[in-house]
Amino acid sequence: MEQTYKPHLKRPQKNPSGDHVPRTRGERNGRKKSFTVKREKKDEPQKYTKTGPENKLKIIVLGGCEEVGRNMTLLEYGNDIILIDMGLQFPEEDMPGIDYIIPNIEYLQGKEKNIRAVIITHGHYDHIGAIPHLMPKLGNPPLYTTRLALGIIQKRQEDFSRGLPFPATAIDIEKGQLQLGVFRVEFFRVDHNIPDSMGLIVHTPEGIVVHTGDFKIDHNPSGVAGDIAKIAKLHDQNVLVLMSDSTNAQMPGFQISEKEIKGTLEQILLTAKGRIIIGTFASMLNRIKQVIEIAEKTGHKVLIEGYSMKNNVEIARNLGYMQLPRGVVLDNVNQALGIPKNKLIIICTGAQGEDKAALMRIANREHRYFAIEAGDTIIFSSSVIPGNERTVQRLKDTLYREGAKVIHYQMMDIHAGGHAKQEDLKLILRLVNPRFFMPIEGNHYFLKIHAELAESIGMDPKNIFVADNGQVVEFQGGKGKLTNKKVPADYVFVDGLGVGDVSNIVLRDRRTMAEDGMCVIIATIDARSGALIGSPDIISRGFIYLKENKEIIDQTREKVKNILRTHDPKAAANDTYIKNKIRDDIGQFLFSKTNRRPMILPVVIEV
């Protein structure tokens, strides 16, 4: 049965310096974002859709079909809408200054009252990270998820405002059911690298839609196993469409078991001569639990470093998902300083090379208490998120230079990804036996590979829909169609306290400054005649070093003088014209001299 969530979580002491979970610069500076929400009147009846030949089932992926992250899917039938997940995406290397990216909900504007619920499949940030930003804009519809995910959502809400401004309910995966307008939703447990992960079985007027969420198949898990039997029962239920996780579709074989990972980690701990430092995701609660269990067995002490990781462990402990044996998990850093090095394990954030995360600060000798020493063993117990390869490699280089031994998942079985590999994906396709198939959650070529896997086991390619973000897929009368219709699904950037106020033009300017620098030209002119007063000042940042390029600077200054001399002295100064003329002419001149295009910022002072 469902139960309304009433959090009784002990809030850990904040330590922002140890955080690697995406938080805006506004949050890091202690500023809270408050929401003013217009709630629907309680006595206003909800208008549910009546089934009929004029209605179609629409499935629209608003994020997650062209990238890893930003997951959000919309199911719509008439006046009824349900949303599945509401995640963020990490910025790419060509997005300087961006904290993270969230889905575009422009299509839902004016349809807020049709949203029957938001259902969250699990507690990873690529599935929950956009909730504080988007839920208020959608009128704060009811939210349903598991107890652990709800605890993590509650903590994230506290970073923005106070408590949950929307009705939130923890569901029972095995027994829970929801009637949401015309949609009836059941759940099934899946294996993943965070507890309480689930997939959805959505009964619609057009047939059954199965959404796997993030999953893998683990025949020997360290926690509660996924419900393969419930998935297998779908085989004879004439499933309309299967939407399946494609994040690991390019990887052949089967995903290894968490029990194998635990055995490998134990061997490393028993043979290591110095400290063990394990870098992983803050949400990898299964891995953290494994390390604590091994430490208790081998006589090691464990220190957890990283604000977000400490929060997640505390939430899991308070909700009964994790036990912290007394005397094994240390309460603070001071206790760790007195532990023999060969008996200390530090579990920390930063396996993706995040600048302010604990592992990076330890590697760069910026941590208050720890620095890498010869004899340390560093374990990267996570796979590399696409786009982070270069950052992670630089971190490994730094660790090796300091004399540490580095172990990562490509060397030994110290990490089992949370996503199914090719043979597991084929198994799910065979078990569910859908009429139509939609690969989701991954870059476009991941989806294409997943589609090819479906073809390889006999699915008709005409019944496989590889959709882009925002592309509308329609089902009616047992037939499916990948339409040419698209709803807005472009990036919405979160930058500091701003949401969606950074455009592609702003990003282009930032990239220009990062790649070619900037040149500020300050000219003082007579307001009446436009004549130059004095000599123009030139300031360069990231373009050329002024002292070593005096000839180019002198030529640029003379060029500015010539531009201003050509102005008609009988006409009043035209500030806009002069700025544009300086920007265009000087930009072209500097490119001819240096083959670079710095950003030209003209400053005209009228006196």
Structure tokens at 248: 């690991």
Residue for token digits 């977000």?
308
**d(C-alpha 32, C-alpha 159), whole Å:** 7
| CB burial readout 69-102, b (16+ within 10 A) else e | bbbbbbbbbbbbbbbbbbbbbbbeeebeebbbbb
**d(C-alpha 159, C-alpha 148), whole Å:** 17
Residue for token digits 């063993």?
377
HSE-CB of 182 using CA atoms within 13 angstroms: 23
Residue 567 backbone zone (phi > 0: left; psi -120 to 50: alpha; other: beta): beta
Structure tokens at 307: 């604000």
Which residues does residue 279 pair with via DSSP β-bridges, in sequence order?
Answer: 348, 380
**d(C-alpha 387, C-alpha 92), whole Å:** 6
Dihedral of alpha carbons 249, 252, 254, 259, sign: negative
Structure tokens at 573: 């100064």
- Packing angle of the helix pair 285-298, 258-271 (nearest 10 deg): 40
Sheet hosting strand 207-211, strand order edge to edge? 177-180, 183-190, 197-204, 207-211, 241-245, 436-440
Structure tokens at 593: 């001299």
Give the other-Cβ count within 10 Å of 606's Cβ.
15
Overall residue count recorded for the chain in this entry: 607
Alpha helices (H) along 54-163: 125-128, 131-134, 147-158
Nearest Cα to Cα of residue 467 among 490, 450, 444: 444
Catalytic residue among 419, 424, 450, 567: 419
Find out whether 145 and 171 touch, Cβ atoms under 8 Å: yes
DSSP collapsed to 3 states, 522-589: EEEECCCCCCECCCCEEEEECCCCHHHCHHHHHHHHHHHHHHHHCCCCCCCCCHHHHHHHHHHHHHHH
**d(C-alpha 132, C-alpha 144), whole Å:** 15
**d(C-alpha 56, C-alpha 77), whole Å:** 6
- Concerning whether 245 is annotated as a catalytic residue, the answer is yes
| CB burial readout 451-461, b (16+ within 10 A) else e | bebbeeeebee
CA geometry: angle 219, 223, 226, nearest 5 deg:
50
Catalytic residue among 99, 126, 245, 495: 245
- Concerning whether 419 is annotated as a catalytic residue, the answer is yes
**d(C-alpha 499, C-alpha 496), whole Å:** 8
So which residues are the catalytic ones? 245, 419
